[in-house]
Amino acid sequence: MDSHIGEACGVFGVYAPGQPVANLVYLGLYALQHRGQESAGIAASDGQTITVVKDMGLVTQVFDERRLAPLDGHLAIGHVRYSTTGSSNWGNAQPVYRSVGDAGFALGHNGNLTNTERLASDLGMLPGFAAPVSDADSTSDSDLVAELIAREYRATLRSDGRDLENALERVLPSLEGAFSFVMMDEAHLVGVRDRHGFRPLVLGRLDDGWVVASETAALDIIGAHFVREVEPGEMVVVDANGVRSHRFAEATPKLCLFEFVYFARPDSELYGQRVHLARQRMGEELARQAPVAADMVMPVPESGVPAAQGFARASGIPYGDGLVKNRYVGRTFIQPTQRERGLGVRMKLNPLPENIKGKRLVVVDDSIVRGTTTRQVVAMLREAGAAEVHFRVSSPPYRWPCFFGMDTGRRSELLAADLSVGEIRDYINADSLAYLELERLTAATGAAPSAFCTACLSGEYPVEVPRSDGKHVLEVVDLTGPLSQL
């Protein structure tokens, strides 16, 4: 993955009386760490009180035995965050908590709303709102959702013990865009997925409980069995009586295609397909579409590995390693300036000259976004003595910004927005460059092409999107300029 593309967040929840639920959530978040590295948090309920612990940093930096100890109870939820709407600060860390009813409720959100501006305006929270009873000043759409739910919660208190469900049934139809929620009050675990299912959410079973998680790999780490995906437009509720389902919107599935390309762990399943195998098929399709005479196929580690394996298998060209990745260096997209991102590439990747010198290389990666990483990778390979560098990308050119949970910046910052493939080839200084065609990419997933959102590749958004910069919409309102300038 080329530099500066923020990943969707990760959510996890467990209902398991008698089990160390906070420890289970910790493990689940650890398995989902690839989806967000800015902050981590866990909320737990003992039936009377909800306790929330969250902070900036990785799961292992935020939690240890001391910080897990107070999180006692029979159900818990957790969240790892990469900021989409809202800045990266403690006030926007999740789970979000609201003190309503007997114990309140907590919420974790994966995705990004597209009608945040209108909802915030209706609540009088624009610009830069500080919601009542919130943890701190917040600028996240997740905090906005929590405030909407809290308002309905107070207005619809009943004696059936399902106040959170009742509030959600009123709020969910008003939300637009991408949202996979895990939520809890003192007695219920709730999972919600928007009607398009932009972001994944799955239901799992423990011997003595239930789990809701962003990916199936997070179920595996705690020994839970995959039951099914939470359907688009569905709310599932877990309590002492088991699992029940509510349909709040008609399903029109549009899973983000980049979940298959990059976001999801390779050992997860989406649409019943193992992601690793789908990525290998992408490489095979790329070899058939754009063959080239070469001596070695190599990946940009680690995101390009499965596609490079597939390319080598289909082409008959030997697979090899040309770059070593330092696993302990942070991802380059979190560096704040272009210069620091460039230095991050040098820190993260180092060439193996003896595998490279004098060889014609096919270099495979899953995408090119800004071009920072790709250009430096090609330069490093040439400095190490590569005779030729042929770059192959297992997805189409990334030309349009995402409004559904990825942070890619404005369209003007995307390399392929205004450059042809030939111009990009010249920019990265490759001998040749080819991107996988969209039709071949969707075929490699094993799912129907109509089941995906391809907006970042095609410019065809399945829902109306805002004309302002969605990431900071609750801080600065800017409705000027055409969509093409985003």
pLDDT of residue 234: 98
- Measure the CA–CA gap between 230 and 219, rounded to whole angstroms: 14
Residues 6+ apart with CB under 8 A from 435: 393, 395, 396, 397, 421
Known catalytic residues are: 9
Answer yes or no: are the C-beta atoms of 68 and 22 closer than 8 Å: yes
pLDDT of residue 139: 57
Write out the two tokens for 164. Answer: 């959170």
- Measure the CA–CA gap between 202 and 211, rounded to whole angstroms: 8
Write down the domain spans for the chain. Answer: 10-254, 279-445
> Has this prediction a pTM greater than 0.75?
yes
Burial 331-349 (b: 16+ CB within 10 A, else e): bbbbbeeeeebbebbeebb
Answer yes or no: are the C-beta atoms of 434 and 392 closer than 8 Å: yes
Answer yes or no: are the C-beta atoms of 17 and 28 closer than 8 Å: no
pLDDT of residue 467: 63
- Measure the CA–CA gap between 52 and 477, rounded to whole angstroms: 31
pLDDT of residue 413: 84
Multiple choice CATH, 10-254, 3.30.413.10, 3.20.20.80, 3.30.360.10, 3.60.20.10? 3.60.20.10
pLDDT of residue 125: 53
Same fold, 10-254 and 279-445: no
Topology of domain 279-445 in CATH is: Rossmann fold (3.40.50)
Answer yes or no: are the C-beta atoms of 195 and 212 closer than 8 Å: no
Q: What are phi and psi of 163, to 5 degrees?
A: -60, -40
Walking along the chain (486 residues) 10 residues at a time, the average pLDDT comes out as: 64 97 98 94 97 95 96 97 61 90 93 89 58 48 92 78 91 96 97 98 97 98 98 98 96 97 96 98 98 98 96 98 81 46 73 97 95 93 97 96 81 90 97 98 97 96 74 36 33
pLDDT of residue 479: 25
Answer yes or no: are the C-beta atoms of 116 and 470 closer than 8 Å: yes
